[in-house]
Structure 1
Amino acid sequence: MTPAARLSAAIELIATIDAQRIPAAKALKEWGTAHRYAGSGDRAAISGLIWDVLRRQSSAAYLMDDASARSRVLGMLKLERGMDIATIQALCDGGRFAPDPLTATEEAALASRSLEDAPAHVAGDYPDWLDPHLARVFGDDRAAEATAMASRAPLDLRVNTLRGKREKVLSRLSHLGARETPWSPLGLRIELGADARNPGIHAEEDFIKGAIEIQDEGSQLAALFSAAKPGEQVIDLCAGAGGKTLAVAAMMQGKGRLMATDSDKRQLAPIHERLSRAGVHNYDVRTPRGEEEVLSDIKASADLVLIDAPCTGTGTWRRNPDAKWRMRPGALEVRLKDQAEVLERAAPLVKGGGRIAYITCSVLSEENGEQVRAFIARHPEFSVQPPEQTAAVLWDKAEAFAEAALQSAEGLLMTPRRTGTDGFFVSVLRKA
């Protein structure tokens, strides 16, 4: 397919998503099934266009003064892809399979309109009901912060030190353009172009042998801030598929006791195979069974309880732009209840001098600082310890990174704009 034909397909798909109100991933899958002649490069390029429209759909509609599928695609080409009018005109020449030529109104909008006077939620491309929530965190910077959360994320990898060293893995992945991440001592980064396909990481020998895992640099750093050490008893209360469990296991160097569980046993399904591939042996995965408390034998003995809390996921918008437009206020209320419950579950597990590492992939203060303050009010035996102090023994960039992040009395917040990572909040709570 030509670039112009791909653009036509993207306009058609955006119109389908609008009309049928279906998730973008489902629309893309159905389109691929119905257009089997399209190669993998075509599908990747069209997917890239769709996701970029969803990233910038509010600002693109504002720029074009029109919210139609075609207008949002055209506006995105200028805002996200940085195309000038001549380049867009060349794609929309009305030829075979190409979009119709630009109208005079479209040319005028592309030439003269800007986001200079756009409301913050429009310029930042997020639902307007979230504006007061983001204003509480970022103030006048909320549009700039949200714009950074709308850009495409790189592909980050974490080197598993139980299986290999970063410098050796880096040399073996040079054919993918991998380089060291700026902050994480374990990270590798592969930058992806607008039309790029995700590289086949799962087919790489280092992945098969457990030397690398796909994990955003922010998630890697969140695990580092927990400062898990060899010989400790560590509990991952919201282990899910095991991303941070694996990171913590490597920090423990195979020494100590690592327990992993999750309230949703379906989320735990991949964890056994992942732990085995990573060379982790000192683990105990506890699968919930009905109302039974799977950690009933643990009484104030854990050195560390890791809480990768269920949250709204606002910090991961650049990886899942479709989610931000489907998010509703009720989702926040549900997550706040879930977070309070898991914090209450963690408190009695921690021994004196032990700690809770509370982590969310959200940028909302209700899920972060406010949740921590409410917990300490209920449990005054806990106090906030600056995460960089906790991690300094393991990571020499901890203090510098904390300066780049947005700090508060309750912890630190990473954002794409400030730290180049996904949005993560980390608070380390130490028990007296």
Structure 2
Amino acid sequence: MIPAARAAAAIEVLADIDVRRRPAADAMKDWGLTHRFAGSGDRAAISSLVYDALRRKSSSAWIMGEATPRAEILGALRQTRGLDVEALAALFSGDGHAPAALTDAERARLAAADLSGAPPHVAGDFPEWLAPQFEASFGDKAADEGRALAERAPVDLRVNLLKATRDKALAALAYLAPEPTPFSPVGLRIAMRPDGRAPPLASDPAYVKGLVEVQDEGSQLAALLAEAKGGMQVLDLCAGAGGKTLALAAAMENQGQIYAADPDAHRLAPIFARLARSGARNVQVRAPKGPADVLADLEGRCDLVLIDAPCTGSGAWRRNPDAKWRMRPGALEQRIKDQDETLENALRFVKRGGRIVYITCSVLKAENEDRIAEFMARHDDFLPVDAGAEARSAGLPALAEHRSPFGPGFRLSPRATGTDGFYVATLARV
């Protein structure tokens, strides 16, 4: 397919997303099934353009003066690909399978590409209903934080210390030009290709053999801050696919015991293959079994309870830009309820002197510091661990400057730390 036809296809996919209100990945899959002439390179290029358009959906509508799939693609090509008016006119020519030719009004708006006077939610490309939440979380930097969340994310890898050193992994993946991550001592970072495509890791021997796992540096830091050590009894209460479970197992050098649990058995399903690949031997998976309490024997026994809490996922918008436009206010309210319930559930497992590490991949204060403040107001037998001391103890002193200004814990974000957005707070039971 020629570039102009790819642009037309991206407009078609965006229209389907708007009409049917569904994930971009589903819309792309259906488009591919009904357009089998498109090769893998075409589908990847179209997908990249769709995701770029979703990243800049609001600002593109402002620039173009209308919120349509065509305007979103034009805005994305102008903002993220740097195409000037003439280059865009060559793509939008109306010839063959190309989109209709640019109008004079479109030419004028593209030439100006003006966001001056745009409100923070437009300049930052986040939903308008979240503007008060962003202001509460970032103040006058809300638009800047939103823009950083609208950028493409690199591919971060965690070196599995059960099987390799960082130097060994760097050598094995040298053809992909990885770089050490700035904060995590076990992280590697690989830049996305210019077309927005990720490197081919799934078939790489270093990945297949378990030397590395895909994991954002922010997620790696959250696991490192937990300071899981050999001999501990650790409960990963919301383990999901097991990314942090694997990181904890490596930190514990296969000593002690980790219990990986999740209320959703389907979310846990991928953990088994990942455990086998990683070489982790100190993990018990406790999948839900109907009404049975599969964690009853852990009451009052755990040195560490890790809560990777259910959240809006606002910190991962770089990787899932369509999620921010599908989210509704009711989702935030539900997540806050889930977070409070999960914190309360964790209580019964933490022994005296043990710790809760509360983690979200959200940048919203309402899901982070506010939840911890309300939990501590209800339970005076938990005290926050000082973030500066925690950073030094975990061997991550540079993180001390990223302690939250709103209460206990750390705030990570693409703008501040170059990671996905994460919040990490540790509470000790006295």
TM-score by structure 2 length? Answer: 0.96
Cα distance change of structure 1 residues 345 and 400 upon mapping to structure 2, 3 Å threshold: same
- Confirm whether residue 330 of structure 1 aligns to residue 330 of structure 2: yes
1:82-123 CA-partner distances (Å, limit 9, x unpaired): 222222223223333222332110111112241110111111
- Confirm whether residue 127 of structure 1 aligns to residue 127 of structure 2: yes
Classify the secondary structure of the residue corresponding to 2:410.
Answer: strand
Cα distance change of structure 1 residues 54 and 60 upon mapping to structure 2, 3 Å threshold: same
Classify the secondary structure of the residue corresponding to 2:17.
Answer: helix
CA distance in 1, matches of 2:288, 2:101: 59
Instruction: Tell me what 1:300 maps to.
Output: 300
Residue identity in the other structure for 1:408: F
- Confirm whether residue 399 of structure 1 aligns to residue 397 of structure 2: yes
Classify the secondary structure of the residue corresponding to 1:253.
Answer: coil
Once structures 1 and 2 are overlaid, which stretch shifts more, 136-145 or 193-202?
193-202
Instruction: Tell me what 2:407 maps to.
Output: 409
| Cα pair 1:259 1:285 within 8 Å, conserved | yes
Classify the secondary structure of the residue corresponding to 2:202.
Answer: helix
1:14-163 correspondence runs (5 A): 14-163=14-163
Instruction: Tell me what 2:378 maps to.
Output: 378
1:298-325 CA-partner distances (Å, limit 9, x unpaired): 2322111100001111111111111111
Instruction: Tell me what 1:360 maps to.
Output: 360
Cα distance change of structure 1 residues 394 and 412 upon mapping to structure 2, 3 Å threshold: closer
| Cα pair 1:223 1:244 within 8 Å, conserved | yes
| Cα pair 1:305 1:349 within 8 Å, conserved | yes
CA distance in 1, matches of 2:388, 2:87: 47
Give 1:22 shift.
3.4
CA distance in 2, matches of 1:322, 1:161: 34
Cα distance change of structure 1 residues 20 and 301 upon mapping to structure 2, 3 Å threshold: closer
CA distance in 2, matches of 1:20, 1:301: 48
Instruction: Tell me what 2:7 maps to.
Output: 7
Give 1:405 shift.
5.9
Residue identity in the other structure for 2:72: R
Once structures 1 and 2 are overlaid, which stretch shifts more, 4-13 or 374-383?
4-13
Once structures 1 and 2 are overlaid, which stretch shifts more, 406-415 or 312-321?
406-415
Once structures 1 and 2 are overlaid, which stretch shifts more, 110-119 or 79-88?
79-88
| Cα pair 1:224 1:391 within 8 Å, conserved | no
CA distance in 2, matches of 1:406, 1:368: 10
Instruction: Tell me what 1:428 maps to.
Output: 426
Give 1:40 shift.
1.3
Structure 1 stretches of 5 or more lacking a match? Answer: none
Residue identity in the other structure for 2:416: R
Classify the secondary structure of the residue corresponding to 1:408.
Answer: coil
Classify the secondary structure of the residue corresponding to 1:153.
Answer: coil
The count of aligned residue pairs is 430
- The alignment yields a C-alpha RMSD, in angstroms, of 1.5
Give 1:16 shift.
2.7
CA distance in 2, matches of 1:309, 1:32: 34
TM-score by structure 1 length? Answer: 0.96
Classify the secondary structure of the residue corresponding to 1:362.
Answer: coil
Residue identity in the other structure for 1:383: L
Residue identity in the other structure for 1:68: T
| Cα pair 1:41 1:197 within 8 Å, conserved | no
1:234-383 correspondence runs (5 A): 234-383=234-383
CA distance in 2, matches of 1:55, 1:221: 25
| Cα pair 2:391 2:398 within 8 Å, conserved | no
Calculate percent identity across the aligned residue pairs: 53
